Structure 1
Amino acid sequence: MIRRTDNDNWAVPGGAIDLGKSLVEAAVRETVEETGITCEITGLVGIYTDPGHVIHYTSDDEVREEFSIVLTARPLSGVPTTSSESSEVHWVEPEGVSRLTMDRSMRMRIAHYLDGGQLPYLG
């Protein structure tokens, strides 16, 4: 997990898909950029939307309702390394997640995976 430099919360790595790239390519790139770990994508936890979370970009007056796709992965190589987006990078045992400060939506996504319930989550 990473401690984000923009809000000091803990989170799993993530980001946007570059034009011409796939979801899997974006996930692998974002993970290595934010953590120093090269990974292989292994599955889907869920797709998360929140109609109440709308973003207004004032630079071009664009309004978006964004969504998140949460994937599972296994590490292939590398060591946890910070970046401009992560002030700390650590492997976290499942029982340690509850002690970390994070956004409620990130906590919910991690809980869906750890609970091992009906996956993928669609909501």
Structure 2
Amino acid sequence: MGRIDYLHDPDAPPANSVVPSVVAFVQNDSGDVLLIQRSDNGRWALPGGGHDVGESISDTVVREVWEETGIKAEVVDMSGIYTDPGHVMLYDDGEARQQFSICFRARPVGGDVRTSDETTQVRWVSPSDLREFDIHPTMRLRIEHALDRERAAPYVG
């Protein structure tokens, strides 16, 4: 399934759904960040996905990281909540989803990097190399906030 992201674009379709979702800022002991290349749009991103009925939000983080990367993660804390109604994601099936994403910091506790049907590549990336990757501006914002450990409280916006 393909995906097009619209960010404050007057040509964006009106949103017809909101799905609580998570992204995981997983950082290893060397300071590298776990990135995926999405199979639906080819862009690089933090692993993540939709919250399922019957699971806690931290379970969603752990499940999504495992499914998309092969890495077992443990949630450390939350770095932000992102609900910009001007960010709409259009999927091939006609769903036009308004952004609702919670970003969590996590650490790896096991597993080995592998791809999935949602990822074409999975890499540990040094923060100094992040600018070389095609990352959507809204995802870059999540990464910047997660890297900023001096922030007194999680970002809410």
Would you call these one fold, judging by a TM-score over 0.5?
Answer: yes
Give the fraction of aligned pairs with identical amino acids, expressed as a percent: 47
How is 1:2-13 mapped onto 2 (pairs within 5 angstroms)?
Answer: 2-13=36-47
**What SS does the aligned partner of 1:91 have?**
strand
Question: Structure 1 4/64 Cα, relative in aligned 2: closer, same or farther at 3 Å?
Answer: closer
For 1:2 and 1:67, the matched residues in 2 are separated by 20
Q: What displacement does 1:116 show?
A: 3.1
Is the deviation greater in 5-14 or in 111-120?
Answer: 111-120
The one-letter code sitting in structure 2 at the alignment partner of 1:69 is I
Which residue in the other structure is 1:27 paired with? Answer: 61
| 8 Å contact kept, 2:37–2:120 | yes
For 2:72 and 2:154, the matched residues in 1 are separated by 23
Structure 1 gap segments, 5+ residues each: none
TM-score (norm 1): 0.89
55, 79, 90: which one pairs with 1:45? 79
Question: Structure 1 63/107 Cα, relative in aligned 2: closer, same or farther at 3 Å?
Answer: closer
Structure 2 gap segments, 5+ residues each: 1-34
Which residue in the other structure is 2:134 paired with? Answer: 101
**What SS does the aligned partner of 1:107 have?**
helix
Q: Which has the higher helix share?
A: 1
Q: How many residues align?
A: 122
Runs of 4+ in 1 over 4 A off after TM superposition: 54-57, 61-64
TM-score (norm 2): 0.70
Q: For 1:14-52, what per-residue CA distance to the aligned partner results, in whole angstroms no more than 9, with x for missing partners?
A: 101111111000110000000000110001110011122
Q: What displacement does 1:53 show?
A: 2.7
Q: What displacement does 1:64 show?
A: 5.3
Question: Structure 1 56/101 Cα, relative in aligned 2: closer, same or farther at 3 Å?
Answer: closer
**What is the root-mean-square deviation in Å for CA atoms of aligned residues?**
2.1
**What SS does the aligned partner of 2:129 have?**
helix
Question: Structure 1 51/40 Cα, relative in aligned 2: closer, same or farther at 3 Å?
Answer: same
Q: For 1:37-90, what per-residue CA distance to the aligned partner results, in whole angstroms no more than 9, with x for missing partners?
A: 011000111001112234688x7x987533110001111111110000010001
Question: Structure 1 83/116 Cα, relative in aligned 2: closer, same or farther at 3 Å?
Answer: same
